[in-house]
Structure 1
Amino acid sequence: MTLDDCRRLDAEDPLAALRDRFMLPEGVIYLDGNSLGVLPKTAPARIAEVVAKEWGEGLIRSWNSAGWFDLPQRLGDKVARLVGAAPGEVVCTDSTSINLYKVLFAALSQVLLATPDASPQRRVVLSERSNFPTDLYIAESICRERGFTLRLIEADELPAALDQQVAVLMLTHVNYRTGAMHDMKAVTAAAHAVGALTVWDLAHSAGAVPVALNDSEADFAIGCGYKYLNGGPGAPAFVWVHTRHAGQFTQPLSGWWGHAAPFEFTPHYRPAPGVARYLCGTQPIIALAGLECGLDSVLAAEPFDAGQGPMAALRAKSLALTDTFITLVEQRCAGRFALVTPREHARRGSQVCLALNDGGPGAYAMVQALIARGVIGDFRAGDAQMPDILRFGFTPLYLGFEDVWNAVEHLVQVLDREEWKRPEFNQKLAVT
């Protein structure tokens, strides 16, 4: 593969014009949209309008006149188009961790109702050891509170680990470290076959890969607003609950915004119908306004899907970008790296993760050297069972194939010139 090949792919790319919707700093190749998406050009003016006009002039009237009150549901309907859900099934609110607590509590409540405390059955929450840590921390806490056990396994142990003791299978659809993607439909069916419920974290899926929650018969899902959805740092997350569960259980954070009639101000809680009960307190309107700009930036790709369903065009380009990166790294970096991300398209998210073939140190410093050159990826530390990772996210909305070529060229130079050995690149920063 040559630079001319990459330029030809850019010239043929139907999504290339979408790059103009984003504020990309000059001289930066941004391969970290899987941690924080790029700023949509519409966001600064929209946020300023909310602050100066809707808040500044409309004041409290804007809850009605500017549509603030309905924002969680209205944005939820936009997320629904990206994750295979129906209108009215998703709300945007709170953080991923808080939403996980809500749905995991609801799922375990359903299990406890079906199997009384005297029964030894179904007291296990099953997850991957390499799942995103906050998910494991939340699960560990709630298991301790409610008398369940958190069991952690490797991904290849999943089929054998699904048994009659499992109450809930909690997985991230695309693994944050490796970029490996589960077959949601098949895994959900396997969990249901042993009587377990599923909780899916879509933080590295929504806006990056096709998701089909309803078609997969999943039970609960949560996701992040500031990665591939480009909602800004700390943007509100989202929560989805299958309609067969949505009206059955009261989530534990029963705040006034999830009340059936918040402005009746009654002293006792009455949950709202459906997923609206997963709202809690007063909503962060300014942050939701930023998230809506991010969602609209992703939905701008819908006209290019040619009737194949939401995310089809983005997914096709994502796979082409990651294929190109893998090919160029293997072609030009002389066996220095092992590919951690699955090569098979059906098992790959929208990122590529590399580990040093010699197993030695240097991955962190290599990432820092690349960042100094304007190629922004990130690093994830390993342990006794997992290697250190150089992690690169590929967001097809604003990345091109020449960007991929140039990123690998910078990586080659970092290696050839041994820039990663410089002391300043070996100083650990707070955020890696």
Structure 2
Amino acid sequence: MINELYQKAFELDQKDELAPFREEFVNEPHTIYLDGNSLGKLPKKTIEQTNNLVANQWGKGLIRSWNDHWIDLPQKTAAKIAEIVGAQPDEIFVGDSTSLNLYKLAFAALHLNQQKKKIISDNLNFPTDLYILQGLIHQQFKDHSLSIIESQNGITVSEKQFEETIDNHTALVVLSHVVFKSAFMYDMAQINALAHQKDALVIWDLSHSVGAVPINLNESEADMAVGCTYKYLNGGPGAPAFLYVRRDLQKQLQSPVWAWFSHQAPFDFSLDYQPKDSIQRFAVGTPSVLSLAAIEAGLDITIETGIDRLRAKSQQQTEFLIELIQQLLVPIGFSIASPLDVNQRGSHISIRHPEGYRISQAMIKPNDGSKIIIPDFRPPDNIRLGIAPLYNTFTELVDSVERIWKIVTEEQFKSYSNERTVVT
């Protein structure tokens, strides 16, 4: 059976029209990387571009490079992200972290909708997003409440649950477009429509979907969104995040942080704050030039490839991976913790096993000379296998599942500690 699976993978790799893009990235030999949903690989052009920025723009140009190269860098980057997420360039701000951007937008939405006191999210959302909402309630909006919709299976949430929960008291709905554990993907347009029927606003966290699935913020009538650039967009560790605000909402929303770069004329150094009338009213401090510059190559590759082609390969690969899991891993105690419907999931597959942590450690740190396979682990027992269509091959998927099968059937995981590393 395994030989037949390898033959199928080989044939799929031979037909893969995105295969040449793999060479755009730094690829470590003897390593299979299935964690692009946490941190994308390094584009080779990023090395060239950042070296030029450091050696020439900073080293030689010094502060003159602000006018020559840097002051418009956030807007140029925003325009490229806008193309990927189906928005207008003047609806995207690039800077700060995802959490800070969510805080800014959630504050602005609750301040605008002060007469309504209900916030809605779900228990599949990324915990930090819930922390942000809890903090806002504790610190500024003490008469508000947070309603958490509970998934019935730990994988998905039904539209009916939102129909029953969103009401005339709802000010804000905050959800991950693709949830971080199971990869369940919401129908953005449907949720937006449900919220708008009750005059509620919606903020989407795009961190696990941007660069992996088509996102049409304008077409779906999205209000606001946040997202990171270091996962499928390959912007590098800690790369600046972005936020989206629909154009007609921008002047209605007030950022909680009044700061230098959101001022109408920052270099007039006026002592009185006057916010910009644009998306830049959500800026805070000096742009992180080194990190911003490192995003460009990954965005360019994504745009050149085209999100529809990326999605098509992603769906083909996740379907193939599920086939492998069902044939080889389910019979030895694994279960699939992602939607089986290809249209309801993003680009990673979660599998569960009571020994998930030690199995993942055996994959990452083999003691028998096997290939290094890098997934990630999410408690209590989830191994996430993240597929980045730009650089993952079908053969790598067979290699990875066969390796997991051996780790379990040969009980190799028993030689690894259950003591958790800081980053899993």
Fold shared, TM-score > 0.5 on shorter chain: yes
Tell me which amino acid in the other structure corresponds to 1:127.
S
1:22-61 maps to which residues of 2 (within 5 A)? 22-61=25-64
- The correspondence of residues 99-248 of structure 1 with structure 2, limited to 5 A, is 99-112=101-114, 115=115, 122-144=116-138, 145-147=140-142, 148-154=144-150, 155-156=157-158, 157-248=161-252
Structure 2 CA distance for aligned equivalents of residues 273 and 205 of structure 1: 29
Amino acid at match of 1:317: K
Percent of counterpart pairs with the same letter? 41
Structure 1 residue 329 and structure 2 residue 321: aligned?
A: no
Deviation (angstroms), 1:335 = 4.9
Structure 1, gaps ≥5 residues long:
116-121, 303-310, 383-387
One-letter amino acid of the counterpart of residue 419, structure 2: Q
**Mapped partners of 1:14, 1:103: distance in 2:** 39
Per-residue deviation, 1:110: 1.1
Query: Which residue does the alignment assign to 1:398?
Result: 391
Match of 1:88 in 2: 90
Q: Deviations over 1:34-73 (max 9, x none)?
A: 100000001122111111111111111101112x111111
Q: Do 2:22 and 2:392's aligned partners in 1 also have CA atoms closer than 8 Å?
A: yes
> What TM-score, normalized to structure 1?
0.92
Q: Which runs of 5+ in 2 are unaligned?
A: 151-156, 367-371
- What TM-score does the superposition give when structure 2 sets the normalisation length? 0.93
How far off its partner does 1:285 sit?
0.2
Please give the alpha-carbon distance, in whole angstroms, between the structure 2 residues aligned to 1:254 and 1:283. 15
Q: CA deviation at 1:263?
A: 1.0
Q: Alignment partner of 2:255: what SS?
A: coil
Matched residues in 2 for 1:328 and 1:129: separation?
A: 29
Q: Cα deviations across residues 209-234 of structure 1 (Å, max 9, x unaligned)?
A: 10011111111100001111101000
CA contact (8 A) 2:178 2:206 kept: yes
Q: Which residue of 2 aligns with 1:7?
A: 10
In 2, Cα distance between the equivalents of 1:425 and 1:45? 40
Q: Which amino acid aligns with 1:408?
A: V
2:385 aligned counterpart, secondary structure: strand
| SS of alignment partner, residue 71 of structure 2 | helix
Offset at residue 300 of structure 1 (A): 2.6
> What does residue range 278-427 of structure 1 map to in structure 2 within 5 Å?
278-302=282-306, 311-333=307-329, 334-356=331-353, 361-373=354-366, 374-382=372-380, 388-422=381-415, 424-427=416-419
Aligned-pair CA distance for 1:273: 2.0
Cα drift, residue 426 of structure 1: 2.2
- Please tell me whether the aligned partners of residues 332 and 409 of structure 2 are also in contact (alpha carbons under 8 angstroms): no
Output one character per residue of 1:288-307: Cα deviation in whole Å (capped at 9) or x when no partner: 011112212222303xxxxx
For residue 330 of structure 1, what is the amino acid of its counterpart? Q
Alpha-carbon distance, 1:412 to partner? 1.1
Q: Which amino acid aligns with 2:22?
A: R
Q: Distance in 2 between matches of 1:77 and 1:89?
A: 9
Counterpart CA distance in 2 for 1:313 and 1:348 is 16
CA contact (8 A) 1:95 1:224 kept: yes
Q: Provide the aligned C-alpha RMSD in A.
A: 1.2
2:210 and 2:224 mapped to 1: Cα distance? 14
- SS of the equivalent of 2:90 reads coil
Quote the residue 1:277 is aligned against. 281
2:264 match: 260
- Deviation of 1:87 (Å): 2.1
Q: Which runs of 4+ in 1 moved over 4 A?
A: none
Q: Deviations over 1:174-200 (max 9, x none)?
A: 000110000000011011111210000
2:397 partner amino acid? V
